[in-house]
Amino acid sequence: MCNNCDYTIHGRHHHFGWDNSFVPAERVAPGSTIEFQCLDSSGGQLKADSTVGDIAKLDFATINPVTGPIFVEGAEPGDALKVTIEMFKPSGFGWTANIPGFGLLADDFMEPALNIWKYDAASLEPALFGKNARVPLKPFAGTIGNAPAEMGHHSVVPPRRVGGNLDIRDLAAGTTLYLPVEVAGALFSVGDTHAAQGDGEVCGTAIESPMDVVLKLDLVKDARLKTPRFTTPGPVTRHLDAKGYEVTTGIGPDLMTGAKEAVAQMVDLLAGRYKLDPVEAYMLASVCGDLRISEIVDMPNWVVSFYFPRCVFE
């Protein structure tokens, strides 16, 4: 429990998808500090003793639960919800999976795969992957947002202009996030917590990990924000930078094709150099490698790069 929090929202107060008719789990005043107990993206279907056979048993109607919603008094359409991300309380357990039909290279990796992670929740020392790889950790919430204005139930999978499944690694402790408000009270929810993820989350999953999140919710009146924006407290890649990067590229007239080529080449490089099964290399790339648009002005071809931190193996 959070001693300095105004409220604790227990994990049982979760929902699937977005719907502005959901009954709030709590009504709070602007400026409230709240602890949210968040489930992992499987909603507890995958556990420390799960095996790859459990991937086929996943109920996709109950994935990516988010805790909430929270009604913020005074929030009105046109305002922005100011979310100060204060801290995370990790669990020490996580998982990464290749789920058939999902992920950037879904056509190349059609069989399920699963890696179960155990990490030190207090020290957040790099987590062991296989025998030789150690992945630096940086907890954050993958799904964080407000209810949309459109009536009805909406999938939690795609990100939206009010936030949602953003999967932005830098929404970590110390960051301040601003979310457009489209309905009275904002109806804010958070979940899909990760212990680590690369920019792009290329296999479709990160180190999916249940954890508690402490946030402060405030209002910026009449902000007229069109999409989310955020401010980081400082550098965002120090946990990865120390030993440099291996970088592959994709070059051509289509950014998605370029992204696939850059990642596929990195999978080949990691698998060959470190004797990994290609799907293991793919999942490892997803939790710590970064996709970047390096050039998008020299038509007709653009450059997409994939950065893999050398510190993982050195």
- Could you list the pLDDT tens digit for every one of the 314 residues in the chain? 688 899 999 999 999 999 999 999 999 999 999 999 999 999 999 999 999 999 999 999 999 999 999 999 999 999 999 999 999 999 999 999 999 999 999 999 999 999 999 999 999 999 999 999 999 999 999 999 999 999 999 999 999 999 999 999 999 999 999 999 999 999 999 999 999 999 999 999 999 999 999 999 999 999 999 999 999 999 999 999 999 999 999 999 999 999 999 999 999 999 999 999 999 999 999 999 999 999 999 999 999 999 999 999 99
Residues 54 and 192 in one domain: yes
Residues 278 and 202 in one domain: no
CATH at residue 288: 3.10.28.20
Residues 177 and 277 in one domain: no
Q: Which amino acid is at 76?
A: E
CATH at residue 16: 2.60.120.580
Full residue range of the structural domain in which residue 306 is found: 243-310
Domain assignment of residue 235, yes or no: no
**pLDDT score of 3:** 81
DSSP SS3 for 158: coil
Q: What is the pTM of this model?
A: 0.96
User: Residue 173: what are its φ and ψ, rounded to 5°?
Assistant: -55, 135
Tally of domains within the chain = 2
Instruction: Please say which residue of 177, 207, 229 terminates a domain.
Output: 229
| DSSP codes of every residue in 28-55 | E-TTEEEEEEE--TTTTSS-TT--GGGG
**pLDDT score of 304:** 98
Listed residue (110, 232, 249, 103) closest to 175, CA to CA: 232
Please count the helices (runs of H) and the strands (runs of E) in the chain.
3, 19
The answer to whether the beta carbons of residues 124 and 90 sit under 8 Å apart is yes
**pLDDT score of 255:** 98
**pLDDT score of 1:** 66
Q: Tokens 């992992």 map to which residue?
A: 40
